Amino acid sequence: MRLLLVRHGQSEWNAARRLQGQADIGLSELGRSQADALRPVIDRIGPCRAISSDLQRVEETARRIGSTTPRLIGALREIDVGDWTGRAIDDIRAEDETLYQGWRAGTTSPPGGEPWATFAERVSAVIEDERRTPCRNLLVVCHGGVIRAILQRYVGIDPAHIIPVAPASLSALRLGNGKLPRLELFNYLPDSLEFGAPD
């Protein structure tokens, strides 16, 4: 099985550099065009089925990249950032840079937030459940943190060593058949390169 991991397009809060976590924020106009640009790539690959977080920014991205009926799964939601929900990233960093960097690395949690280990376990459980049903190319439309959790679980890359993936980017991971999981593609964008992902 190949996992086609797509992060949602830019949301209104991404554009404003505010943390979302599980807040249900819609796509910006740029986010819609980012998703539209990725659609021909996904069409060429031809996923056998699609799963998606149930938050609107992800569901809309799934539809825009060609999945008219993704199975919506609440356990694919982004990590819950607790008291940081809706706050500006610059304000959080100014308040406590060490805590913020620890959260990015998966070693600390925001006040009232979800621990990384709990989050990674719920995400992995979804993927393990999907592996029970054969599928050559499984489209997983989700959030940046979800992609980082999957990479940690299956290829052993700790969150501290993974840049946040770009909005509406594609990463691919091959699983199964007695071989170690392998990362095939990371942070691909159809019409640009992304070296400036925000930390």
- How far is CA 61 from each of CA 101, 150, 194, rounded to the nearest angstrom? 28, 19, 19
* pLDDT value of position 193: 74
By the 10 Å C-beta count (0-12 exposed, 13-18 middle, 19+ buried), 30 is classed as: middle
Q: What is the CA radius of gyration of the chain?
A: 16
Q: How far apart are CA 60 and CA 50, in angstroms?
A: 13
pLDDT tens digits for 101-113? Answer: 999 999 999 999 9
How many Å apart are CA 56 and CA 127, to the nearest integer?
Answer: 21
Q: Is residue 8 among the annotated active site residues?
A: yes
Q: What are phi and psi of 188, to 5 degrees?
A: -80, 135
State the average pLDDT over residues 46-52.
96
Residue in this structure with the two tokens 């008219």, named with its chain if needed:
68
From the list 60, 78, 114, 130, the catalytic residue is: 78
Q: List, for residues 6-40, the tens digit of each pLDDT value.
A: 999 999 999 999 999 999 999 999 999 999 999 99
Give the type of residue at 67. Answer: S
Instruction: Give mean pLDDT, residues 36-57.
Output: 97
pLDDT at 35: 97
For the question of residue 12 being annotated catalytic, the response is no
The catalytic residue among 8, 59, 114, 130 is 8
Question: Taking the complete model, does pTM exceed 0.85, yes or no?
Answer: yes
* Residue 199: per-residue pLDDT: 52
